Structure 1
Amino acid sequence: MRVALLLTATIVGTLFANPSNAGSLDVASADAAKSLPPGFQSYRGYMFDVSENSDRKDVDKLTENLKQQIDVVEGAGFSPRVLRFFRTVPIVASELACLDEGAATACYGRVTPDTPRTTPRTLTVWDHDKQRWTNPNAVDLAVDSGLGVIMIRPDMMRYEKEAVLLHEMLHAYHARLLPDGYANKGVIGYYAYAKSKDFLPKEAYALKNHVEFFAVTASIFLAGKSEFHDPKTREALKEKMPDYYKYLVGVFGFDPDPAAASGGPVASLK
């Protein structure tokens, strides 16, 4: 589960460039729902495409697993506003995705899915009246605007107990919603501190870079555990990095620990 940072889009997007543009999320989400690209399905407002895998015997299982992954994201405690943002991120299942570095089971970035087109690619244009980029094709819009696309591989089914999609959505959250995106000073600072100490094994995936550090730890913070990635549990995260744990409470607006005084998720925005 690494981040694909293939910046090949020809238009520098501003739609989700920083939190000050977050008011566009509602409109973008509605537009995405109206304009599902060919082959896409919708579940709980999320758009995903498994059509490339239609001739596989396990395509129904793949679809069901993906829906379960969406349920995990929906139940993680994010505010309605953040969930509306997540629903604008296209999800594409492709057997040959995410293979440029290792063999990740999922990846996020400005990557144009290599899928057959029945019509020419539609150009993303700036709508002066609405003050935002527009494109009738939600995938092309996501690539061109910088929103990004989540690619998953069918082998994700091997990790059905792991919050794979949540991990990738947290990459999108980091890139598009945190101040300064991947250059966010808070995340970089806590990553550097964790790497300088013995909080995690040196080979831990969370120490690969600050982007994976946030996705791994925030996923454990929200979902409660990971079978594959240290620190494995929310309790261990809190014990090993208490200051960073408090930082995550501040970022997401609540402490997901059932014993926390906050009593659970508190939506920051409606």
Structure 2
Amino acid sequence: MTSAPSPKDQQKRKPSFTAPALSCDAHCHVFGPAAVFPYAPDRRYTPQDAPKEALAALHERLGLERAVIVQASCHGTDNRAMLDAIAWRPDSYRGVAIVDDTFDDTALQALHDGGVRGVRFNFVKHLGGAPDMALFGRVIDRIKGCGWHVVLHLDAVDIVPLSDMIRRLPVPFVIDHMGRVETALGTQQPAFQSLLELARREDCWVKVCGSERISRYPFDAAIPFARALVEVSPERTLWGTDFPHPNLKEPVDEADLLDLVARIAPSGEERQRLLVDNPARLYGFTT
């Protein structure tokens, strides 16, 4: 029996899975173009440009109608590329920003008016590690009145140590990429069990994306983790492509990632919640 070809050996294709109407890619990025929206001077990586037109072309190929554009660290607190993309398609795009103490109430309102519904903080070691926690606390206090949430990008080893802090957050929180758990350690590993405990909370949302970050093609090892999260938190799980996959060592075809949804959410009801209803509720899309 021959194995399936790796994405690097095949051209990009349309997925076998047909997403429900109004499905949302709840985790994707736009990068640049650098000539218009320069990258941050202190960035940890420099991506290839992936402007809004490339994102729209991807979604047309996949059959996705909505998107949440997550500000990535390479653009720092300059959210203009993300805001420009949302303004291009304001009814179907929302955003998650990166902010700091320089953002006053007027600046936060401008982000909200531009379609932003949350802020993101990175704790991942290779991207610079944990933020200044005093700054983190001040930003969280500032966004409480906005009706926003905070997106947490964590390494698996940090889930248990940070769980107490996360539980005390006064705003809803979203865990990126299934907490970047190590699939080789199995679903009983303390990090994943701690993530499941968080996922049971009504203020916790988890993105069951990032299969290409925690497993190798064809990503079978990620399925038990994503499936467990959907079962524990059917109304607060989200899915996304992570396009254009910054810092990923091997190429990936997003069609392969979308096809995983058929296994992550086997029933039509589960797929409707994961791809349509849940992101619509969190990000204020009109159904």
Whether these two folds match at TM > 0.5 is: no
